Chain A
């Protein structure tokens, strides 16, 4: 029989995520997958899981869960203030939870997303090659009270190799104003010199519209650039709308879009964006 966990409180917005859906963009299917890949990969490595094993991605407020069996787990990403039956749980350190123990995560700090992984991974239904959740492609969209999630077979402690433990979380932003490196996007050259300068000069702020699909920025750019023929977009594409709004596309974004693609975020800086929330500030560096 597989191990499982039960959801006592879902947290603010908690989803099951893995490496996402490959090879279905041509049908209009979003890529999805864990936003902070760095935190995701470390969690699976610590537990000796397969690199793409599914786990919980917790946003702003983590869930409270009860273990139905003895299970090794780890929390990575931003600080989640977690306790297991009242005892503090450190980020990045694997813990063996006993059956009936309760893990309570609280407000997430230092960033916006924490990752809660279990040895063996979450064994949700595979849909189009991924166990991750994306409504309405998958039956579930986010955690709700009373859900029971089954886990895969644990390989924790079975390898002779070194066990990975870590104390600090390098995926999380520590400075108040981050720098996000970008490439010029396909329509960058159509911007005026002034617009190009403003992209590099402004301090940008994440607006209240931020989720797994996109991050919209508060600061606008005076814009006379027209829409383009609907064209391919990918996570990290920065679009400029006719009203001058800048939108950074994230994992659950559409596969095509009609707004000019002015910048493309460098892959290694995407994890920083994944940890931002309303009010986070950053500079854009165009390389």
Chain B
């Protein structure tokens, strides 16, 4: 049975912020996903979660009795979660690590004192849980990056990181769903499109899913890109 201490406050005029008194973990993630679904149903509101917070959006209006709302939310959060099991979808994501698609890989390799084949080996050997989506539409916050691959963000961010770039920033790895400025080290690129705003389910990923990367050649990359555009 899992329970956490939490603190509820208002964020602005319309939303409630729930801060959980715990460091991020996969157990907390599981708890957050369950509570997010519960609160969303209970209050008919959108709930955003991050590592250790829940934001219940636009649940306060002029007619809201704040005290009773907070009591209702507290009661829902205090129901213990009985299982730590979460049935995760694993997404296998192809990545081309050749220099054509990995602007920073050589510099990055020399800074962390690893060879490029070692980096690919380590980066593709791990399943990364998606903690939440944020920063850009469809951008997954991933955990579990091997400590040998950690490297602080660039001191001067790149003006353009191309769509599909797979990158390392500090203790995290991630994929850029669209062109964006950014301070992470680009070590490869995927030809898969992660986010399509015209679809009913625009994001390929959801929080709680897992990602595993696998290496592909430049010609594989081009083939997948071509078939995407057919």
Contacts and interface: CB of A to CB of B under 8 A. Distances in A.
A138 B198 CA distance: 9
B207 to A, nearest CB: 8
Interface string A1-41: 00000000000000000000011111111100000000000
A136 B202 CA distance: 13
Given A136-B178, A137-B197, A264-B11, A232 B17 contact: yes
Contacts of B198: 127
A254 interface: yes
Given A254-B135, A256-B50, A265-B12, A25 B197 contact: no
Range of interface residues on A (Cβ < 8 Å): 20 to 34
Given A25-B48, A230-B141, A183 B10 contact: yes
A70 interface: no
A25 B48 CA distance: 7
Q: What DSSP secondary structure best describes chain A's contact surface?
A: loop
A191 to B, nearest CB: 16
Given A128-B202, A183-B12, A267-B13, A26 B136 contact: no
A255 B57 CA distance: 12
Given A28-B134, A127-B197, A138-B197, A266 B13 contact: yes
Interface in B178-201: 178-179, 195, 197-198
A137 B137 contact: yes
Interface string A239-271: 000000000000000111000000011111000
B189 to A, nearest CB: 17
B53 A232 contact: yes
Q: What DSSP secondary structure best describes chain B's contact surface?
A: loop
Contacts of A136: 178-179
Range of interface residues on B (Cβ < 8 Å): 35 or more
A77 interface: no
B159 to A, nearest CB: 15
A274 interface: no
B46 A255 contact: no
A158 to B, nearest CB: 30
Contacts of B43: none
A237 B57 CA distance: 14
B12 A27 contact: no
Contact of A232 (B55, B141, B197): B55
A186 B20 CA distance: 12
Nearest to B203: A27
A33 to B, nearest CB: 13
B46 A26 contact: yes
Nearest to A30: B137
Nearest to B47: A26
A24 B48 CA distance: 9
A26 B49 contact: yes
B10 A26 contact: no
B131 to A, nearest CB: 9
A193 interface: no
Contacts of B13: 266-268
Interface of B: 9-15, 17, 19, 24, 46-53, 55, 57-58, 132-139, 141, 178-179, 195, 197-198, 202-203, 207
